[in-house]
Structure 1
Amino acid sequence: MPHVSLHTPIGDVTVFEHDGAIVALDWGWVEDQAQTALLDRARQQLDAYFDGALRTFDLPLAPVGTPYRRAVWDALCTIPYGETRTYIDIARIAGGSPRSVGQANGRNPIPLIIPCHRVVATGHLGGYSGGEGLPTKRWLLALEQPEGALL
């Protein structure tokens, strides 16, 4: 499966492509990379995102998951840059409960691009399974805030 790794402010990440779509993004560096036009686009968009110059990813995505999980991940993609939604908000869109939304969030195979970091619990941040956990989630949310805004 073609993949490319890149250095980011939140650690190394590797993006995977299958059949012309992005299927996964994992933390860490993978050797023996295979560059494709799509992976080059993904790298450019991720670099622009971390530079604060990109608010919306424009990549074909094909996350593998149950129909319910895919519905949750589709709902996550509707959360605008710089905004958050609660697990309850996403459950209203995708169905299920806040708990099932949290479980689907934790199984998101394409974090950052499918912005699971934008989902928070009522009254607190909730969890985050990527990078270093909550410090990574806080960093991503801060990146998306206007200069001087408080979280």
Structure 2
Amino acid sequence: MAVLTGSCRFGLWHVHVAWQDDIVYRVRFARVGLVGPVPEEILRYCSGRRGDLSTLQSVATEGESTFARIYRAVREIPCGETATYGEIARKVGTAPRAVGSAMARNPTPIVVPCHRVVAKAGLGGFSPDPTIKEALLAMERRKPGPCTPENERD
């Protein structure tokens, strides 16, 4: 089966997705959309409805590289919560700068929720626009929101 590409909306942005079955190869934010399908889980998430992104796999988490270990740790951050670059670094046994580098190079944002990784004294960066990070975090904190029931905060 071929890798599929498509996009859905998240606010003023289009979320481009390259995927096959339950494996996501690439996610990026763009101003112009692509015609084609997107996994149902991502469609639901981007529309603020309940979904379960844990059923999707990211190519970024494969292997034992430092970045792959960082991406797996980031996937463990509950929906609607955040962790600092330093907290993820301590968990993985690396430096906060390595976490920042991994987040900047994350090929599958949303699936590997790099928007949940924040600076000790602020939001931190997000490509292509930090307002996307703010909007994703705000959406996740709303009730009802895109979090699965087991990840909901009381």
Instruction: Using structure 2 for the length normalisation, give the TM-score.
Output: 0.78
Give the number of aligned pairs.
138
* Corresponding position of 2:8: 6
Which of 48, 54, 70 is the matching residue for 2:50? 54
Task: Please give the alpha-carbon distance, in whole angstroms, between the structure 1 residues aligned to 2:89 and 2:16.
Answer: 29
Q: Give the superposition deviation at 1:51.
A: 3.3
Q: Relative to 1, partners in 2 of residues 1:78 and 1:20: Cα closer, same or farther, differing over 3 Å?
A: closer
**Preserved CA contact (<8 Å) 1:84 1:118:** yes
* Corresponding position of 1:116: 114
C-alpha offsets along residues 109-134 of structure 1, whole Å, 9 cap, x if unaligned?
A: 0001110000011121111114xx21
Which amino acid in 1 is paired with 2:110? L
Which amino acid in 2 is paired with 1:6? C
Which amino acid in 1 is paired with 2:140? E
Task: Please give the alpha-carbon distance, in whole angstroms, between the structure 1 residues aligned to 2:61 and 2:73.
Answer: 15
Gap regions ≥5 residues in structure 2 = 144-154
Task: Please give the alpha-carbon distance, in whole angstroms, between the structure 2 residues aligned to 1:31 and 1:80.
Answer: 30
**Preserved CA contact (<8 Å) 1:24 1:63:** no
- 3-state SS of the aligned residue for 1:114? coil
**Preserved CA contact (<8 Å) 2:10 2:47:** no
* Corresponding position of 1:106: 104
- 3-state SS of the aligned residue for 1:22? strand
Q: Relative to 1, partners in 2 of residues 1:140 and 1:19: Cα closer, same or farther, differing over 3 Å?
A: closer
Which of 88, 92, 103 is the matching residue for 1:90? 88
Task: Please give the alpha-carbon distance, in whole angstroms, between the structure 1 residues aligned to 2:142 and 2:9.
Answer: 24
Q: Relative to 1, partners in 2 of residues 1:50 and 1:26: Cα closer, same or farther, differing over 3 Å?
A: closer
Task: Please give the alpha-carbon distance, in whole angstroms, between the structure 2 residues aligned to 1:142 and 1:32.
Answer: 27
Instruction: Using structure 1 for the length normalisation, give the TM-score.
Output: 0.79
* Corresponding position of 1:63: 60
Q: Relative to 1, partners in 2 of residues 1:65 and 1:12: Cα closer, same or farther, differing over 3 Å?
A: same
| Matching of residue 137 in structure 1 with residue 139 in structure 2 | no
Identity %: 32
RCO (CA 8 Å, sep 6+): is it higher in 1 or 2?
2
Task: Please give the alpha-carbon distance, in whole angstroms, between the structure 1 residues aligned to 2:131 and 2:20.
Answer: 30
